C-alpha cells in the first residue's frame, strides 16, 4: 500500500490547534503557560522522534539525520525531566493528564506514518543528495525550506504562551481574548486556503515566488505586531500571521515541485521514493529543530518565572526579545526566497523542455537557457519587478487591439514599437501583456561612460525642465541605474555601429526565440534627419531595416516563420495599440521579404497613430 506523503501544511495546522487547545484548557487555569506549553512540546517532539523511528529505522538514514535524531531525542527527554522536576505536583492533576492524552492521541492521528521507505538504502539517499545539490535550485530550496519550517514551528510555540504571560488581566477576559485570537487564526488560515484553491481552480494561481515573499512579509508583520503589543491587540495580528503561514506553505510546496523537476532533468534524479524519503527527513528534522529551539526558551522561562506574577510581568516586557530567534529564522528564509531561481515562467519552459523531442531544433538552445537559470547561480530580478510595478501605475495605459495577440510558446512574437524618447520603452515593458526581452543599443548596456553620453545626447539634453548644468550629472546617475535594469531584464545588445559583432545580436535573438521568449524592438533611426535629431517625440521616424533579417535567420535554423506585431504607444490618449501580425513568407526572396515586413510594419504603426491622433484632435503625421 502506497504511503501518503507527509504534509507540512496539515501537520502544522494540527499542531497549532493542539497547542492552542492545551494552553486554553489548562495553561490559562494554572497560570503557567510556559510550563505547560513546554510539556506539550516535549510530548509532541517525542511523538515525532518515535514516528521517525517507526517510519524508517536509523540504519536506513543518512549520518546527519541519525545524529540529529539522537541529539534531539536526548535533548527533549532532558528538558522534559527539567520541567517535571520543576513542578512534580502538577503530574497528579487530572487536567494535565487529560490535556496531554488528548494532545498526543490527536496529534499522532494527524501525522500517522511518515512516508519513509525501509527499502531506500543510505547509499541511494546520499547519491540523490549529491546529484540534486549540483543544481542551485535544490541548494536554495534546502536552506529556504529548512529555515521556513523551523521558524513556522518555533514561532507559534513561543507566541501563544507569551501572549498568556501577563497575569494582570482577570482570568475570564484573558480566556476570551485567547479564544478570539485562536478563532481569528483559524479563520485566516482557512480563508487564505479557500482563496488559493479558488484561484487554482480558475487556472489563475498566484505566482509562486511572489506568493512566498508576501507570505513571509505577513508572517514577519504578524509576529512583530504580536511581539510589540499585548492582548487584545495581538489578536488582530494573528490574522496576518496565520494568512502568511498558509501562503508561505502553499508556495513552498510549489517550489518543491519546481526543484524536483529541475533535479529530474539536469541531475538525473529519477527515484521518486528516495526523493520523498530524503525530503521528508529534512523537513521533519527542521520541524523538530524549530520545536527544540522553542522548548529551550520555554523551559528557561518556566524555570525563571514559575508562578511569580512579578517575574511574569518582566517576561512580558521583554516579549519581543524571546520571539527574536523565530523572527531571525523567518528573515533568513526571506533572504533565500529572494535567491530562488525558478519563476513560474521558467517552470513552464521546463515543462515544455521535458515534453520536447531531442531532435527539435530548439532543444539545445532551451537546454542551455534552463541550465543558466536553474543549475548555475541565478536569482530572479525582483528589484526590477518592483520598479516595473511602480512605473506601470505612473504610466497607466489603455490597451487597444490586445485580442490580436496570438500566444504560441513554440513561435513567439516580435513586437515593433515607436520609441517616443523614453515613453515607448517604459510603456511597452510595463504594459505589454506578455513577457518580453528587448533589443537595446550596446552603448546603454555595457560601458557606463558610453551610456552617459548616449542618454545625454538623445534624452536629457532635450529636457527643458532640467537646468543645463544638471543635465549631464542626471544622465550619469541614470546611466548606472539603466545598466543594472538592462542586465536584469536580460536585454539583447544591438551592436549597431560594429558590423563584426552584429551577428552576435542575431544569434542571441534567435536563441531567445527558440527558448520561447517574446522580443521587443524599436526600429526607428534616431539620426535619420540630422546628427542631433534624436527620436521623434510624436509620430513615427524613419526605420532601420536590418531587424527584418531576423526572420530569414530564424527560419533557416528552426523552420518556423517569424511573427512581427506592430504596436504604437500614444502619449496623447495614453493608449498602447496593437495591430495585425505580419508573418514571414519563406517562399519569397529574403530581400524582398525584408522590405515588405518593414513597409507593412511602418504602415500599420502609422495607421494606429492616426486612429489615436483623431481621438485627441491631432493631425496625423505623414507616411
∠ Cα 382 216 374 (to 5°): 45
pLDDT digits (tens, 9 = 90+) for 600-618: 999 999 999 888 888 876 6
Return the SS3 of 437: strand
* Mean predicted confidence (pLDDT) in 518-543: 73
Specify the higher pLDDT residue, 2 or 336. Answer: 336
Beta strands at 563-570 and 575-578: parallel, antiparallel or unpaired: antiparallel
pLDDT of residue 246: 93
pLDDT digits (tens, 9 = 90+) for 236-260: 788 899 999 999 999 999 999 999 9
Residue 511 neighbours by CB distance under 10 Å: 18
pLDDT of residue 555: 92
Say yes or no to pLDDT of 91 above 60. Answer: no
Residue 372 neighbours by CB distance under 10 Å: 13
Distances (CA, A) of 557 to 307, 313, 362, 506: 78, 74, 9, 12
pLDDT of residue 239: 87
pLDDT interval class at 454 (50, 70, 90): confident
* Mean predicted confidence (pLDDT) in 329-350: 92
Using CA atoms, how far apart are residues 52 and 71, in angstroms rounded to an integer?
14
Say yes or no to pLDDT of 520 above 90. Answer: yes
With beta carbons less than 8 A apart as the criterion, state whether 220 and 147 touch. no
pLDDT interval class at 322 (50, 70, 90): confident
∠ Cα 326 328 332 (to 5°): 120
* Mean predicted confidence (pLDDT) in 61-71: 69
Residue among 501, 498, 511, 499 nearest 550 (CA): 511
Using CA atoms, how far apart are residues 411 and 510, in angstroms rounded to an integer?
11
DSSP designation for 398:
E
Residue among 576, 550, 545, 577 nearest 562 (CA): 550
With beta carbons less than 8 A apart as the criterion, state whether 365 and 348 touch. no
Using CA atoms, how far apart are residues 18 and 512, in angstroms rounded to an integer?
52
Using CA atoms, how far apart are residues 453 and 609, in angstroms rounded to an integer?
30
Say yes or no to pLDDT of 531 above 50. Answer: no
Say yes or no to pLDDT of 92 above 60. Answer: no
pLDDT interval class at 169 (50, 70, 90): low
Using CA atoms, how far apart are residues 419 and 541, in angstroms rounded to an integer?
9
* DSSP track, 114-147: ----TTS-HHHHHHHHHHHTTSHHHHHHHHHHHH
pLDDT interval class at 90 (50, 70, 90): low
pLDDT digits (tens, 9 = 90+) for 1-55: 344 456 788 778 777 776 666 656 655 445 466 776 777 777 777 777 766 665 5
Could you tell me where the DSSP H helices lie in 443-525? 448-458, 468-488, 499-514
pLDDT of residue 134: 92
* Mean predicted confidence (pLDDT) in 500-504: 80
Using CA atoms, how far apart are residues 118 and 100, in angstroms rounded to an integer?
31
pLDDT of residue 77: 80
Residue among 117, 99, 107, 121 nearest 48 (CA): 107
pLDDT interval class at 216 (50, 70, 90): very high
pLDDT of residue 74: 83
Say yes or no to pLDDT of 297 above 60. Answer: yes
Using CA atoms, how far apart are residues 404 and 61, in angstroms rounded to an integer?
57
Say yes or no to pLDDT of 103 above 60. Answer: no
Q: Name 393's Cβ contacts closer than 8 Å, sequence gap at least 6.
A: none
For the packed helices 136-163 and 319-338, what is the interaxial angle rounded to 10 degrees?
160
pLDDT digits (tens, 9 = 90+) for 303-315: 777 666 666 667 7
pLDDT of residue 2: 41
The whole-chain average pLDDT of the chain stands at 80
In percent, how much of the chain has pLDDT > 70? 79
Return the SS3 of 93: coil
pLDDT of residue 99: 55
pLDDT of residue 54: 58
Specify the higher pLDDT residue, 486 or 594. Answer: 594
Class of domain 8-347: mainly alpha
Place of cell 535550485: 137
Largest CA distance in the chain: 96
pLDDT interval class at 117 (50, 70, 90): low
C-alpha cell read off for 506: 542575431
Domain definitions of the chain by residue range:
8-347, 402-441+493-616, 446-490
Could you tell me where the DSSP H helices lie in 164-271? 171-201, 208-228, 234-266
Return the SS3 of 331: helix
* Mean predicted confidence (pLDDT) in 487-495: 83
Lowest-confidence pick of 21-30, 77-86, 441-450: 21-30
Cα Rg for the chain, rounded, in angstroms? Answer: 30
For the packed helices 94-111 and 33-55, what is the interaxial angle rounded to 10 degrees?
40
pLDDT of residue 28: 47
Q: Name 53's Cβ contacts closer than 8 Å, sequence gap at least 6.
A: 69
| Residue 381 phi, psi (nearest 5) | -80, 75
Could you tell me where the DSSP H helices lie in 306-381? 309-317, 319-338, 344-355, 363-370
pLDDT digits (tens, 9 = 90+) for 393-421: 888 888 998 898 988 878 899 999 988 77
pLDDT digits (tens, 9 = 90+) for 545-561: 888 899 999 999 888 99
Return the SS3 of 230: coil
* DSSP track, 604-621: HHHHHHHHHHHHTTPPPP
pLDDT digits (tens, 9 = 90+) for 348-401: 999 999 988 888 888 899 999 999 999 988 888 888 888 888 888 888 888 998
Say yes or no to pLDDT of 115 above 60. Answer: no
Say yes or no to pLDDT of 138 above 90. Answer: yes
Specify the higher pLDDT residue, 496 or 265. Answer: 265
C-alpha cell read off for 294: 522553542
Amino acid at each position: 500500500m502506497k504511503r501518503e506523503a507527509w504534509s507540512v501544511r496539515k501537520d502544522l495546522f494540527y499542531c497549532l490547534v493542539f497547542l492552542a487547545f492545551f494552553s486554553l484548557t489548562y495553561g490559562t487555569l494554572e497560570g503557567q503557560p510556559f510550563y505547560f506549553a513546554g510539556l506539550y512540546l516535549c510530548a509532541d517532539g517525542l511523538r515525532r522522534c518515535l514516528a521517525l523511528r517507526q517510519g524508517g529505522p536509523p540504519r536506513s538514514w543518512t549520518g546527519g539525520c541519525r545524529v540529529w535524531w539522537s541529539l534531539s531525542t536526548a535533548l527533549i527527554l532532558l528538558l522534559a525531566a527539567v520541567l517535571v522536576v520543576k513542578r512534580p505536583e502538577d503530574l497528579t492533576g487530572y487536567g494535565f493528564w487529560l490535556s496531554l492524552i488528548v494532545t498526543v492521541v490527536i496529534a499522532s492521528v494527524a501525522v500517522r506514518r511518515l512516508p519513509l521507505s525501509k527499502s531506500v538504502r543510505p547509499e541511494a539517499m546520499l547519491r540523490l543528495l549529491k546529484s540534486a545539490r549540483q543544481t542551485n535550485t535544490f541548494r536554495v530550496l534546502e536552506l529556504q525550506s529548512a529555515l521556513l519550517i523551523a521558524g513556522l514551528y518555533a514561532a507559534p510555540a513561543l507566541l501563544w504562551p507569551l501572549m498568556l504571560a501577563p497575569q494582570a488581566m482577570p482570568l475570564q477576559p484573558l480566556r476570551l481574548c485567547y479564544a478570539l485570537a485562536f478563532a481569528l487564526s483559524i479563520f485566516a488560515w482557512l480563508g487564505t486556503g479557500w482563496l488559493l484553491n479558488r484561484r487554482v481552480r480558475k487556472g489563475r494561481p498566484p505566482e509562486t515566488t511572489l506568493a512566498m515573499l508576501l507570505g513571509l512579509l505577513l508572517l514577519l508583520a504578524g509576529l512583530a505586531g504580536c511581539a510589540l503589543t499585548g492582548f487584545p491587540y495581538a489578536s488582530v495580528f494573528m490574522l496576518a500571521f496565520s494568512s502568511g503561514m498558509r501562503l508561505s506553505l502553499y508556495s513552498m510546496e510549489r517550489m518543491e515541485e519546481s526543484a524536483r523537476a529541475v533535479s529530474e532533468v539536469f541531475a538525473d534524479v529519477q527515484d521518486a521514493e528516495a526523493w520523498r524519503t530524503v525530503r521528508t527527513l529534512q523537513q521533519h528534522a527542521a520541524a523538530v529543530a524549530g520545536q527544540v529551539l522553542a522548548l529551550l526558551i520555554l523551559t528557561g522561562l518556566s524555570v525563571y518565572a514559575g508562578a511569580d506574577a512579578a517575574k511574569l510581568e518582566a517576561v512580558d516586557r521583554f516579549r519581543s526579545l524571546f520571539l527574536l530567534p523565530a523572527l531571525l529564522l523567518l528573515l533568513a528564509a526571506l533572504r533565500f526566497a529572494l535567491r530562488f531561481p525558478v519563476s513560474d515562467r521558467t517552470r513552464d519552459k521546463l515543462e515544455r523542455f521535458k515534453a520536447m523531442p531531442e531532435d527539435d531544433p530548439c532543444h539545445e538552445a532551451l537546454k542551455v537557457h534552463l541550465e543558466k537559470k536553474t543549475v548555475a547561480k541565478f536569482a530572479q530580478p525582483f528589484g526590477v519587478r518592483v520598479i516595473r510595478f511602480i512605473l506601470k501605475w505612473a504610466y497607466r495605459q489603455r490597451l487597444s487591439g490586445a485580442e490580436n495577440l496570438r500566444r504560441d510558446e513554440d513561435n513567439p512574437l516580435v513586437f515593433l514599437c515607436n520609441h517616443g524618447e523614453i515613453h515607448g520603452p517604459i510603456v511597452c515593458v510595463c504594459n505589454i501583456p506578455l513577457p518580453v526581452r528587448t533589443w537595446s543599443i550596446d552603448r546603454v548596456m555595457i560601458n557606463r561612460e558610453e551610456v552617459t553620453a548616449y542618454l545625454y545626447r538623445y534624452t536629457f539634453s532635450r529636457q527643458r525642465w532640467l537646468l543645463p548644468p544638471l543635465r549631464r550629472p542626471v544622465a550619469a546617475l541614470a546611466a548606472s541605474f539603466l545598466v543594472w535594469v538592462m542586465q536584469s531584464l536580460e536585454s539583447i545588445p544591438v551592436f549597431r555601429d560594429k558590423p563584426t559583432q552584429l551577428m552576435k545580436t542575431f544569434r542571441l535573438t534567435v536563441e531567445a526565440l527558440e527558448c520561447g521568449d517574446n522580443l521587443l524592438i524599436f526600429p526607428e533611426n534616431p539620426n535619420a534627419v540630422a546628427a542631433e535629431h534624436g527620436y521623434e517625440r510624436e509620430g513615427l521616424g524613419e526605420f532601420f531595416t536590418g531587424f527584418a533579417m531576423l526572420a530569414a535567420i530564424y527560419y533557416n535554423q528552426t523552420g518556423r516563420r517569424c511573427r512581427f506585431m506592430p504596436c504604437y504607444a500614444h502619449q496623447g490618449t495614453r493608449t498602447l495599440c496593437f495591430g495585425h501580425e505580419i508573418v514571414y513568407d519563406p517562399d519569397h526572396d529574403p530581400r524582398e521579404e525584408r522590405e515588405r515586413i518593414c513597409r507593412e510594419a511602418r504602415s500599420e504603426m502609422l495607421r494606429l497613430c492616426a486612429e489615436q491622433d483623431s481621438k485627441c484632435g491631432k493631425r496625423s503625421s505623414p507616411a
